[in-house]
Amino acid sequence: MLKITNLYKTFNPNTVNEKLVLNGLNLDLKDGDFVTIIGGNGAGKSTMLNMIAGVHFPDEGSIVLDGEDITYLPEYKRAKYLGRVFQDPMMGTAANMEIQENLALAYRRGKKRGLSWGITREEKELYVEKLKVLDLGLETRLTNKVGLLSGGQRQALTLLMAALQKPKLLLLDEHTAALDPKTAQKVLDLSEQIIAENSLTALMVTHNMKNAIQYGNRLIMMYEGRIIYDVSGEEKKKLHVSDLLEKFQSASGGEFANDRMILS
């Protein structure tokens, strides 16, 4: 359903800061795939997600989603196909607006927005139902400003918003990295639950190798702008963190995996 072909991207070309981030990336996703993505800093994981989302455009290559070439489609136009959760919990929601107003914005993703009232009564009932599933007590706080919520609550809300209009593809960009371990676990479980319930196709970037093995049906490892390891199904389930570390070391030519990866 998603086909990435020969994607190249260089940041700051022709300067001292020139950096090749995507180096002929290829990726083919099947419907219902839940793919976890790991790799060191600067491997191009987030850049790949940003290319799919339209934040940056590639120098070369193509991105085709469900038969439609979206390589150079503006970010706001392709948003109707995508659900996104960001690393920074502040990014996914509007802090000065109410919980229900945030949900109402997400509810209209991909729809024409006009001069009718921003939130209808029926919608509010729907939001209460949806928020109950989160089990964070947010269903009684519809008119609270999102800025009052904790990081974990905001990520949970962003997840809900991303799935409110079923996206073709859900992009999770290290969405638990800024949370404490317990909250991170909760948000991860919630992600899995939402993906399963709505049978979504999802890409999840993570720095945590255990999570990468535990969640999803397919795992890819990136290094220097391309995919160096791609494993799915039974083989993935049998993986251990040590296998991944070994893979990473052999790929990077003995260079040690960074601390963050070892510790996790």
Partner 1 sequence: MNIVMAMFGAASQGLTWAILALGVYLTFRILNFADMSCEGSFALGGCISAVLIVKMGWNPYLTLIIATLAGMAAGFLTGFLHTKLKIPAILSGILTMIGLYSVNLRIMGQANTSLLGHKTTVSLLKDILPEASSLGMKDSTMQTWVTMGIGIVFSITVIALLYWCFGTEIGCCIRATGNNEVMVRAQGVNTDQMKTLGLIISNGLIAFSGALVTQSQGFADVKMGVGAIVIGLASIVIGEVMFQKPKNFAFRLFSIVIGSIIYRIIIAIVLQLGLNTDDLKLFTAVVVAIALSIPNLKKNKAYVRKGVN
Scanning residues 68 to 127, which ones bind partner 1 (CB under 8 A)? 74-77, 79-80, 82, 84, 86, 90-97, 101-102, 104-106, 108-110, 113-119
What DSSP element (H or E) covers 19? strand 19-29
Query: DSSP letter string over 178-218?
Result: TS-HHHHHHHHHHHHHHHHHTT-EEEEE-S-HHHHHHSSSE
Rounded to a whole number of angstroms, the minimum distance from the CB of residue 169 to partner 1 is: 13
Q: Residue 25 — φ and ψ, nearest 5°?
A: -80, 135
Rounded to a whole number of angstroms, the minimum distance from the CB of residue 48 to partner 1 is: 17
Rounded to a whole number of angstroms, the minimum distance from the CB of residue 91 to partner 1 is: 5
144 binds partner 1 (CB under 8 A): no
45-83 residues labelled b (16+ CB within 10 A) or e (exposed): bbbbbbbbbbeeebeebebebeeeebbebeeeebbebbb
Distance CA 154, CA 121 (A): 23
Rounded to a whole number of angstroms, the minimum distance from the CB of residue 63 to partner 1 is: 17
When binding is defined by CB under 8 A, the residue of 48, 49, 53, 163 that contacts partner 1 is 53
Q: Which of 206, 150, 201 is nearest to 177 (CA)?
A: 206
Binding residues for partner 1, rule CB under 8 A, total 34
Rounded to a whole number of angstroms, the minimum distance from the CB of residue 89 to partner 1 is: 11
Name which of 117 and 259 has its Cβ closer to partner 1: 117
Name which of 17 and 96 has its Cβ closer to partner 1: 96
Phi-psi group of 223: left, alpha or beta (phi > 0 → left; psi -120 to 50 → alpha; rest → beta): beta
Residues making contact with partner 1 (CB under 8 A): 53, 74-77, 79-80, 82, 84, 86, 90-97, 101-102, 104-106, 108-110, 113-119, 161
